[in-house]
Chain A
Amino acid sequence: MSATTASPWRAYLAVAMTRFKMVLQYRAAAFAGFVTQLFWGFVKVMVFVAFFEASNEVQPMTFSEVLVYVWLGQGLLALLPWNVDAEIAGDIRSGGVAYELLRPLDLYGFWFARTLAFRAAPTLLRLFPMLIFAYWGLPLIGLAEWALPMPDSFASGFLFVFSVTATLALSTAFTMVMHVALMWTISGEGFNRLMPGIVPVFAGLIIPLPLFPDWLQPYLYWQPFRGLADVPFRIYSGHIPVNEALFEIAMQWVWFAVIVVFGYRLLMRARIKLVVQGG
Chain B
Amino acid sequence: MANAIGLYFRLVSQSVRAQLQYRLSFVLTSIGGFVTTSVEALGVWALFDRFGMLGTWHLAQVAFLYGLVNSAFALSEALARGFDVFGKEFVKTGNFDRVLLRPRSTVLQLAGHEFLLHRVGRLLQGLIVLSWAIYVLDIDWNIGKALLLIFTMVSGVVFFYALFIFQATLSFWATESLEIMNTLTYGGVETAQYPLAIYRRWFRRFFTFVVPLGCISYFPTILIFGIEDPLGTSAVFQALSPLAGYLFFAGALGFWWLGIRYYTSTGS
- Chains A and B touch (C-beta atoms under 8 A apart): yes
> Does A190 lie within 8 Å of B28, measured CB to CB?
yes
> Does A23 lie within 8 Å of B55, measured CB to CB?
no
Residues of B within 8 A of A186 (CB): 22, 25
- B 181-220 binary contact with A (CB < 8 Å = 1; else 0): 1011001001100100011100100000000000000000
Find A32's partner among B88, B170, B175 (CB 8 Å cutoff).
B170
Q: How many A residues face the partner with a CB closer than 8 A? A: 45
Q: Which of B2-10, B35-43, B129-137 contacts A (4 or more CB under 8 A)?
A: B35-43
Kindly state the separation between the CA atoms of A30 and B177 in the bound complex, as whole angstroms. 8
Residues of B within 8 A of A206 (CB): 39-40, 43
Main secondary structure of the interface of B (DSSP, over half): helix
> Does A207 lie within 8 Å of B198, measured CB to CB?
no
Q: On chain B, which size bracket covers the interface?
A: 35 or more
Flag whether B178 is at the interface (Cβ < 8 A): yes
Q: Which of A49-57, A151-159, A226-234 contacts B (4 or more CB under 8 A)?
A: A49-57
Flag whether B97 is at the interface (Cβ < 8 A): no
Contacts known (A186-B25, A190-B32); A43 close to B55, Cβ less than 8 A: no
Flag whether B52 is at the interface (Cβ < 8 A): yes
Kindly state the separation between the CA atoms of A201 and B39 in the bound complex, as whole angstroms. 8
Flag whether A272 is at the interface (Cβ < 8 A): no
Q: How far is the CB of B140 from chain A (nearest CB, A)?
A: 26
Q: Which residues of chain A from 37 to 78 have a CB within 8 Å of any chain B CB?
A: 37, 39-40, 42-44, 46-47, 49-55, 57, 59-60, 77-78
Chain B: residues with CB nearer than 8 A to chain A?
A: 22, 25, 28-29, 32-33, 35-37, 39-40, 43-44, 46-47, 49-57, 88, 170, 173-181, 183-184, 187, 190-191, 194, 198-200, 203
Chain A: residues with CB nearer than 8 A to chain B?
A: 23, 25-26, 28-30, 32-33, 36-37, 39-40, 42-44, 46-47, 49-55, 57, 59-60, 77-78, 82-83, 86, 122, 186, 190, 193-194, 197-198, 201, 206-207, 211-213
A-B contact pairs, 25 of them (CB 8 A): A26-B176, A28-B174, A29-B174, A29-B176, A36-B183, A36-B184, A37-B183, A39-B191, A42-B199, A43-B191, A43-B194, A47-B198, A49-B198, A50-B57, A53-B55, A60-B50, A86-B88, A190-B25, A190-B29, A194-B32, A197-B39, A198-B36, A206-B43, A211-B46, A211-B47
Q: Can you list the 8 inter-chain pairs with the closest CB atoms, starting with the nearest?
A: A197-B36, A50-B55, A26-B176, A54-B53, A33-B180, A29-B174, A50-B198, A28-B174
